A and B are shown apart, each in its own frame.
Chain A
Amino acid sequence: MVDVTVQTPPVETRAVRLRHFWSDYRRSWVAVLALAIITTLVLASFGAPFLVPQNPYDLAQLDWADAFLRPGQTGSGGYVHLLGTDNAGRDMLSAILYGLRTSFVIGITAGILALILGISIGLTAAYFGGRIEALLMRIVDLQLSMPAILLALVMAAMLGQGVPQIVLALVVAQYAYFARTTHGAASVERRKDYIEAARSTPLPTRRILFKHLLPNVLPPLIVVATVQVASAISLEATLSFLGVGLPLTEPSLGSLISNGFKYIHAGRSWLSIYPGIFLMVTVVAINLVGDQVRTVIDPRNSR
């Protein structure tokens, strides 16, 4: 009934979009390097049992005779301790990679849980508005006005040591960033015509929230999530360094630094410095990746 020849729209598959994303991403070689570092660190830490000579959790594998070996020295196990050993004869490289694994698990789990909690609060506030919005966002604002480390410290002190406790402390300390970002993005999207169209169809609220609003506020959140994972890792390290995080029997980067700190004036600086370098490189690299993703997905920079 309609005699129009309509030009075929260009086909754009997910693969094509991914390729475009990558071609934009790699325009910064620093970001590419950062991504390579992160990938290596993730693979190395999760593959640690197969890569390093020692399981630092297994006290049977530790030998007091190997304590305080300098980097490069060979220990009783007959292999070279590339980064030296600690006061208990732990191979530092093994301890660092196992510790990094713990840090990643904690950081990513806390990041995802905080993301989910933050999205729920932000979306609810933005969509319903009125008193609910005022109440939820005031709580969030109140929390954002306090330093996250303070909140995490109080929570960790209350909950005690252990991985689940730390994760919980980090989620409480961090969800507010996600809630704020979600609320900001959702408040903008909510006013757009496609939400109005869905409301006037009418579609049920749950569908509008999760099928229409959520997918459109997700991109900026992914960037925040990357950065928050980095921040969770350093928060966890801080807590462990201050002694309210993980015990040395479950090494994380923070507890390793903390342990080594005792000997730093005794000329055994490698105990603190190497875990410190790994922590710094990890956090900086994640932030660089996050920044580049933010640049690439920003519509103002699209070509």
Chain B
Amino acid sequence: MTDPILKIDAVSKRFTRMPGLAERMIGKFTGGGKPVVVHALSDVSLQVMKGEVLGVVGESGCGKSTLGRVVAGIHAPSSGSVTLNGQPIADQRGGNIHKRTTQVQMIHQDPFASLNPRMKVGETLAEGPRHHDIIPARDVQARIRELLEQVGLEGAYADRLPHQFSGGQRQRVAIARALAMQPEVLVLDEAVASLDVSIQAQVLNLFMDLRRDLGLTAMFISHDLSVVRHVCDRVAIMYLGRLVELAPADRLYADPRHPYTRALFASVPTVGTGRGRFETIKGEIPSPIDPPSGCAFHPRCPFAGPRCLVQVPELGALGQGRTVACHLNDGGVELQKGAA
């Protein structure tokens, strides 16, 4: 559990939306019509160890889903690299992404959208392994039954279409589809977020069982802090495209160090703490099109000082496998000589 299998190295991802012809022409007079650049990821470095489940947590616009898509080979990073066992996951060829590995598989949030509504579940499971010769052709049918049973469905369901399944069952099918490729790393993007509480527990149990039996390595992307605490070994907290804190789950939940992590924990409603207690973060989440200068969290941070307005905090080690990107942890928030 100590060698990194997946390395995310200084990855940035920018999405540029070019204005249309009409916008450019109007822009000539109004001064608009310029390309809009969204900074989805800025200089993110992470490593995932073999057999580890790494949680990635944050609110909308924090880049967690983009990070998942870069790792799954759906987007190519604008700069930096993602490697699996030393090999890049995808190449950018002209305007298209060419994924080079079948070893990273993704499970999407909405099982109503992630299965082809007009393809039988058995075919959905079989097409990937068949195309990549992962399962010998004559074993495909047997393997599909086995996979369906492994995720708690009946083998006979292979002949059904997705709309004949409930949400929880579809998410099981999506998990089976990923497992069929015998991946080394799973990327789960909000994989239980759209499920009912009782179904969510079933799918989380399934995930934990599979992880134990198959020794899965996974990146578990979620906005739900309690789900992440339950299934993850380490947790990365992201804010506006940057990694702000990374720590083993138990230490992070016991003692969050970044002011954002603390505020996030405080604003989550929990069962049984009594009513009317909301500690809230003030202000809105800034837009990733125009992120604040310095530390992106400074407009909402109760501890922000002059240094936070001008200097982006670096990730610094705190010991015990923890890192945090905050000026509070590297000499305070006041402007220091030569710091700016």
Bound-state Cα–Cα, A130 to B163, Å = 33
Which segment of B33-41, B116-124, B296-304 sits at the interface?
Answer: B116-124
Q: List 30 A-B contacts (CB under 8 A).
A: A1-B209, A2-B152, A2-B209, A7-B166, A9-B166, A11-B160, A193-B108, A193-B110, A194-B114, A196-B106, A196-B108, A197-B174, A199-B99, A200-B73, A200-B104, A200-B106, A201-B127, A201-B128, A201-B131, A201-B181, A202-B73, A202-B102, A207-B127, A211-B116, A211-B119, A212-B116, A215-B116, A215-B119, A216-B116, A216-B118
Contact present for A203 and B131 (CB under 8 Å): yes
B140 → chain A, closest Cβ, in Å?
15
Bound-state Cα–Cα, A4 to B203, Å = 10
Interface positions of A from 1 to 29, Cβ below 8 Å from B: 1-2, 4, 6-12
Residue of B nearest to A198 (CB): B116
Bound-state Cα–Cα, A197 to B111, Å = 11
**Complex interface: chain A residues within 8 A of B128 (CB):** 201, 203
* Contact A12-B164, Cβ < 8 Å, known A6-B152, A207-B131: yes
Residue of B nearest to A129 (CB): B95
**Complex interface: chain B residues within 8 A of A4 (CB):** 152, 202, 206
**Complex interface: chain B residues within 8 A of A2 (CB):** 150-152, 205-206, 209
Band of interface residues on A = 20 to 34
**Complex interface: chain B residues within 8 A of A9 (CB):** 157, 160, 164-166, 169
Bound-state Cα–Cα, A198 to B113, Å = 12
**Complex interface: chain B residues within 8 A of A262 (CB):** none
Interface positions of B from 125 to 162, Cβ below 8 Å from A: 127-128, 131, 150-154, 157, 160-161
Interface residues of A (CB under 8 A from B): 1-2, 4, 6-12, 128-130, 192-194, 196-204, 207, 211-212, 215-216
**Complex interface: chain A residues within 8 A of B95 (CB):** 128-130
User: Does B317 belong to the interface (CB within 8 Å)?
Assistant: no
Residue of B nearest to A196 (CB): B74
User: Does B213 belong to the interface (CB within 8 Å)?
Assistant: yes
B178 → chain A, closest Cβ, in Å?
9
Q: A6-B153, A193-B108 are in contact. List 18 more A-B contacts (CB 8 A).
A: A4-B152, A6-B154, A7-B166, A9-B160, A11-B160, A11-B164, A12-B163, A193-B113, A194-B116, A196-B114, A197-B106, A199-B74, A200-B72, A200-B104, A201-B181, A202-B73, A207-B131, A212-B116
Bound-state Cα–Cα, A255 to B192, Å = 65
User: Does B105 belong to the interface (CB within 8 Å)?
Assistant: yes
Residue of A nearest to B108 (CB): A193
User: Does B177 belong to the interface (CB within 8 Å)?
Assistant: yes
Bound-state Cα–Cα, A203 to B119, Å = 15
B98 → chain A, closest Cβ, in Å?
8
Bound-state Cα–Cα, A200 to B103, Å = 10
**Complex interface: chain A residues within 8 A of B150 (CB):** 1-2
Band of interface residues on B = 35 or more
B312 → chain A, closest Cβ, in Å?
31
**Complex interface: chain A residues within 8 A of B114 (CB):** 193-194, 196-197
Contact present for A194 and B164 (CB under 8 Å): no
**Complex interface: chain B residues within 8 A of A194 (CB):** 113-117
Contact present for B102 and A10 (CB under 8 Å): no
Bound-state Cα–Cα, A204 to B132, Å = 10
**Complex interface: chain B residues within 8 A of A197 (CB):** 106, 108, 114-115, 174, 177
Bound-state Cα–Cα, A261 to B153, Å = 69
B81 → chain A, closest Cβ, in Å?
18
**Complex interface: chain B residues within 8 A of A207 (CB):** 127, 131
Bound-state Cα–Cα, A2 to B154, Å = 11
Bound-state Cα–Cα, A202 to B74, Å = 9
B127 → chain A, closest Cβ, in Å?
6
Among A11, A12, A202, chain B packs the most CB atoms within 10 A around the CB of A202
B43 → chain A, closest Cβ, in Å?
24
A250 → chain B, closest Cβ, in Å?
41
Among A7, A9, A199, chain B packs the most CB atoms within 10 A around the CB of A9
- What 3 A-B pairs have minimum CB-CB distances, sorted nearest first? A2-B152, A193-B114, A215-B118
B144 → chain A, closest Cβ, in Å?
15
Residue of A nearest to B113 (CB): A193
**Complex interface: chain A residues within 8 A of B151 (CB):** 2
Contact present for B131 and A200 (CB under 8 Å): no
Residue of A nearest to B205 (CB): A2
**Complex interface: chain B residues within 8 A of A130 (CB):** 95
Contact present for A203 and B127 (CB under 8 Å): yes
**Complex interface: chain B residues within 8 A of A10 (CB):** 164
**Complex interface: chain B residues within 8 A of A1 (CB):** 150, 209, 213
Contact present for A211 and B127 (CB under 8 Å): yes
**Complex interface: chain A residues within 8 A of B117 (CB):** 194, 216
